[in-house]
Amino acid sequence: MKKALVVDDTKNIRTLLTTCLEINDYEVITAKSGHEAMELLNIEKFDLVFLDIKMPEISGTSVLKEMREMGIDIPVIIMTAFATVKNAVDCTRLGAAAYLQKPFTAEKVKSVLNEIFNNDDNIDDLEGLLKHSRELIEAGRNEDAYNILKKALSINPSCSEVYYLIGIVHEKNGDVKQAQKFYEIAERFKIDI
């Protein structure tokens, strides 16, 4: 089950998003402030963050900036009632995956989730999956790349490049031993060709 962090100082927004995300098979943890969010990000691993821009003490933009400096490259959906060009530029520069204009509906939340995660469902050929996974690895979205590589493996379980890219994902995640295992499998399939 994927895990999402919802960060907003408004209880109604946290409740609405929690409901929407749970319906879409997410485990949801909420934070009322940027400080609380940073504490959670330091101890838990999330697949997705919904982040309000305008919060007391520490802004959503500051949280996003701090996340990126910590090497946390998960998709972040920025929520705001006051969309400004400066905010959009700042957040895009920091790699925000999408924007959610307040007030929003459950349907809009679902649409944003589909936009972020299901765009790979259109890719069914092995070459397309490999290309897309390489792009995701380059963007630091290792978990998404790994999911696509599993799909590629189901298409061709003897493709050495799939194993090689899975090795890269493990290496970028700090699991060198697991990475080495996949590099060796990739080499074995190269020899068998």
The CATH number given to whatever domain includes residue 142 is: 1.25.40.10
In tens, the pLDDT along 36-81 reads 999 999 999 999 999 998 898 899 989 999 999 999 989 999 998 8
Q: What pLDDT is stored for residue 67 in this prediction?
A: 93
Verify that 69 and 152 share a domain, yes or no: no
Q: What pLDDT is stored for residue 106 in this prediction?
A: 83
Task: Report angle CA 131, 136, 142 to the nearest 5 degrees.
Answer: 125
Task: Identify the domain containing residue 37 by its residue range.
Answer: 2-118
Structure tokens at 124: 């069914």
Q: Are 48 and 27 in contact (CB under 8 A)?
A: no
Q: What pLDDT is stored for residue 193 in this prediction?
A: 40
CATH number at residue 32: 3.40.50.2300
Q: What pLDDT is stored for residue 88 in this prediction?
A: 67
Q: What pLDDT is stored for residue 66 in this prediction?
A: 93
Q: What pLDDT is stored for residue 123 in this prediction?
A: 53
Looking at 118, 140, 167, the residue that finishes a domain is 118
Verify that 113 and 127 share a domain, yes or no: no
Q: How far is CA 152 from CA 120, 136, 137, 166, in A?
A: 11, 14, 15, 11
Verify that 88 and 6 share a domain, yes or no: yes
The pTM for the full model equals 0.60
Task: With a cut of 50, list the residues of the chain below it in pLDDT.
Answer: 120-122, 192-193
Q: What are phi and psi of 27, to 5 degrees?
A: -90, 130
Q: What pLDDT is stored for residue 40 in this prediction?
A: 97
